Amino acid sequence: GAVVSQHPSRVICKSGTSVKIECRSLDFQATTMFWYRQFPKKSLMLMATSNEGSKATYEQGVEKDKFLINHASLTLSTLTVTSAHPEDSSFYICSVPKSGDSGHEQFFGPGTRLTVL
Amino acid sequence: DAKTTQPPSMDCAEGRAANLPCNHSTISGNEYVYWYRQIHSQGPQYIIHGLKNNETNEMASLIITEDRKSSTLILPHATLRDTAVYYCIVRVGGVYNQGGKLIFGQGTELSVKP
């Protein structure tokens, strides 16, 4: 079964609105989660590291005021795309690393496809 | 920037072994080699990882050269469902680094053909 879920799987919104995407770890607690975006026929680009209990860490070039991340609990991280514009249309994916000795594996969510009109 | 080089695309006949190469000539001693794949419009899926020894699991085998500058992912009997983009990633491992971020390169688009 799924280890990481994302909601919604697909969203279409008007330009200027804000969109919230949820990432849930279903099988284990995660103090860290990662957010990626992927444009068509491109690779995944890491946007930020979501940290439970502290501020997210953003990769260079990613606007923290544009992409708000909240790690509300040990199983939930949210990404809010504020004042979305057509260029924000993309596939957003979260991942959850499994901690511990066997923690080499990271589990990815199924992704959220955002289309901004 | 990604620290690996992979061919952009490969074809493989169904039922045959798929051998996907990866060059990581600048790998450090504490960096592991990870392989993930992404089927179209889905999130990536972990396949296998290794440090210096060859590894095998139910999905694939990973062959790492003795100097660790390159590796090959082997899918022993490719099926149509193995059609995906395969990513080779190097990252510092170890107990305290397993939660570290993964940086994806361009990957290899594998097409398994009937």
The SS3 of residue B81 is: helix
Contact B98 A95 (CB under 8 A): no
Quote the CA–CA distance of B24 and B89 in Å, as a whole number.
Answer: 9
Q: How confident is the model at residue B40 (pLDDT cuts 50, 70, 90)?
A: very high
Q: Are A104 and A1 in contact (CB under 8 A)?
A: no
Instruction: Pick A110's closest partner by Cβ from B32, B43, B95.
Output: B43
- A58 beta partners: A48
Q: How confident is the model at residue A103 (pLDDT cuts 50, 70, 90)?
A: low
Q: B residues 7-36 near A, CB within 8 Å?
A: 32, 34
pLDDT per residue as tens digits for the range A44-92: 999 999 999 899 999 999 999 999 999 989 999 999 999 999 999 999 9
Task: Give B-chain residues touching A34 at CB under 8 angstroms.
Answer: 101-102
Question: Once rounded to an integer, what is the mean pLDDT over residues A7-20?
Answer: 97
pLDDT of the residue at B111: 98
Task: Give B-chain residues touching A107 at CB under 8 angstroms.
Answer: 46
Question: Once rounded to an integer, what is the mean pLDDT over residues B4-31?
Answer: 95
Contact B104 A110 (CB under 8 A): no
Contact B42 A100 (CB under 8 A): no
Question: Considering only CA atoms, which of A66, A89, A90, A60 is closest in space to residue A79?
Answer: A66
Quote the CA–CA distance of A69 and A99 in Å, as a whole number.
Answer: 21
Contact A44 B104 (CB under 8 A): yes
Interchain CB contact of A97 with B (< 8 Å): yes
A58: nearest CA in chain B?
A: B101
pLDDT of the residue at A105: 86
Interchain CB contact of B114 with A (< 8 Å): no
Task: Give B-chain residues touching A95 at CB under 8 angstroms.
Answer: 43-44, 102
Task: Give A-chain residues touching B97 at CB under 8 angstroms.
Answer: none
The phi, psi pair for A114, rounded to 5°, reads: -105, 130
Interchain CB contact of A107 with B (< 8 Å): yes
Instruction: Pick B93's closest partner by Cβ from A36, A43, A104.
Output: A104
The SS3 of residue A55 is: coil
pLDDT per residue as tens digits for the range A21-53: 999 999 888 889 999 999 999 999 999 999 998
Cα angle value A30/A34/A38 (rounded, 5°): 150
pLDDT per residue as tens digits for the range B14-26: 999 999 999 999 9
Q: How confident is the model at residue B3 (pLDDT cuts 50, 70, 90)?
A: confident
